Structure 1
Amino acid sequence: MANLTRILRLRDAEIWAYEFLDNQDIIIYFSITDVNRKATIHDNPLATQEELDERDNYLSIDVHSNLDLKKMLEEDTFDDVITEISFLVEHMHDFHNAHVFMKMHVHDNIDLTDFQLEEDEDLHGDEKEQLYTFQRLWIQQTCFQMIEHHLNRKIKEISNSRFCQDLK
């Protein structure tokens, strides 16, 4: 079983956390970004030009994890993750006129130069808990940066202090 939690919702992007209830060591965040343009071969090298031309819009789904999910998960479990993410996207407003492509990003070599172990384990947890929190936040930040890259704007510029989910 898994738990899906929306972390961020903007007019053109969302970030979700995907958590396995029985395995807390796997970190998964994914973003759904409406790029507001037609898809190109650069966006999806697997698509034919005809497939790209059929749709007016491009939705990018970027899945970020600390593990290579395809290698580390059983095939059925991996398929369930992809199916749940796809099901979520299929129920979005502009899905039917969009070319959707999912990219997997594996962050198994996280730069730990900024990681600082806190001494107070009662407040911050033991070394394993602190390292997990650092990795989770690092992957989450990478997910935010992917949205900024796709939209070519900083998140703080996208969200102008209004509740973007209420915008139409």
Structure 2
Amino acid sequence: MANLTRILRLRDAEIWEYEFLDNQDIIIYFSITDVNRKATIHDNPLATQSELDERDNYLSIDIHSHVDLKKTLEGDTFEDFITEISFLVEHMHDFHNAHVFMKMHVHDNIDLTDFQIEEDEDLHGDEKEQLYTFKRLWIKQTCFRLIEQQLNRKIEEISNSRFCQDLMR
């Protein structure tokens, strides 16, 4: 079983936190971004040009974790995980006229130069808890930065001007 929490919902992007209830040590954030253009060979090198020409839009699903999920998750758990994310996307408004490509981003070399252990364990937790929290925030920020790159705008600009919790396109 898993817990899905939407962190951000904008007109052209969503960020979700995915948490396995039986293994909470795995950090996963994923984004669904409508990049408002046709897909290109750069987006999916395996697609043919005729396949790319068939659809008018491109949705990018980017999964961020600190582990290689395909290698780490046991049995059918990885396939169930991918199916759950796919199910979310299939129910989006413009799904049927879009190419949807999923990319996995493994962040196993997280830059720890900014990480400092706080001495008050009652307030901040022990070293292991603090490191886990730092990694979680680092991966979440990386997910946000990727959306900013894809939409070529800062999240603050987007959220101040185009927030649409229930807006239909």
Deviation string for 1:30-80 (max 9, x for gaps)?
A: 000000000000011111111111111000000000100011112411101
**Other-structure match for 2:106:** 106
Contact 2:11 / 2:163 at 8 angstroms: preserved in 1? no
2:11–2:162 contact (8 Å) kept in structure 1: no
Partner of 2:40: 40
May I ask how many residue pairs the two structures share in their alignment? Answer: 168
Q: Taking every aligned residue pair, what percent have the same amino acid on both sides?
A: 89
Distance (whole Å) between structure 2 residues aligned to residue 165 and residue 41 of structure 1: 32
* Unpaired segments ≥5 residues, structure 2: none
- After superposition, residues 27-106 of structure 1 pair within 5 angstroms as 27-106=27-106
Larger displacement relative to structure 2 (81-90 or 42-51) = 42-51
Who is 1:21 aligned against? 21
Q: Which residue of 2 aligns with 1:137?
A: 137
RMSD: 1.1
Report the TM-score when normalising by structure 2. Answer: 0.96
The 3 A distance-change label for structure 1 pair 124 and 161 is farther
How much does 1:162 deviate? 6.1
After the TM superposition, which residues 145-156 of structure 1 pair with which residues of structure 2 at under 5 Å, given as runs?
Answer: 145-156=145-156
Runs of 5+ unmatched residues, structure 1? none
Q: CA deviation at 1:130?
A: 0.5
Which has the higher mean CA deviation after the structures are superposed, 153-162 or 92-101?
Answer: 153-162
**Correspondence list, 1:3-14, <5 A:** 3-14=3-14
Q: Which amino acid aligns with 2:128?
A: K
CA distance in 2, matches of 1:149, 1:162: 17
Q: TM-score under structure 1 normalisation?
A: 0.97
The CA deviation at 1:152 is 0.8
SS at match of 1:15: strand
